[in-house]
Amino acid sequence: MSHDIKDDRRYTKDHEWAKLEGDEVVIGITAYAVDQLGDITLVNVDVGEGDDLEPGKAFGTVESVKTLADLFAPLGGAVTRINGKLEDEPELVNDDCYGEGWMVALKPSDAGALEGLMDAAAYASFLEAESH
């Protein structure tokens, strides 16, 4: 089983990704998460611009034909942007989870926290261990 894993971002055990873009970190869910969820029908982000996210805390949910899953913040910081397109087009997450299907962007309170997340190789190993 091979899932698309991008080298330019970091990953969590909850299958979120975090990518540094300038002084922001953009957050979304991984191809593995999308595969497990199936067709996504609703993305609900429970935070607004300027809100503080705490690492590991839920910031929204993703609903699919199979289940409802919480979205967890991989690191803390102030929310700078929310992907408003997902309200009307939740399928963007299925179609392009690493691009147009991003969830939120934040200004990290600790820029070094990103380094504490798994890199692509570590995440691939984690997925392999999960599937056995």
- pLDDT tens by residue, 18-40: 999 999 999 999 999 999 999 99
Q: Is the pLDDT of residue 3 over 80?
A: no
Domain hosting residue 50, numbered range: 16-109
pLDDT > 90: percent of the chain = 93
Give the integer Cα–Cα distance in Å for 107 and 128. 31
130 part of a folded domain:
no
Spell out the long-range contacts of 13-21 with Cβ–Cβ below 8 A and sequence spacing 24 or more: 13/118, 13/126, 14/72, 14/74, 16/71, 16/72, 16/73, 16/74, 17/74, 17/98, 18/74, 18/75, 18/114, 18/117, 20/114, 21/105
What is the model's pTM? 0.94
- pLDDT tens by residue, 92-106: 999 999 999 999 999
CATH number at residue 22: 2.40.50.100
127 part of a folded domain:
no
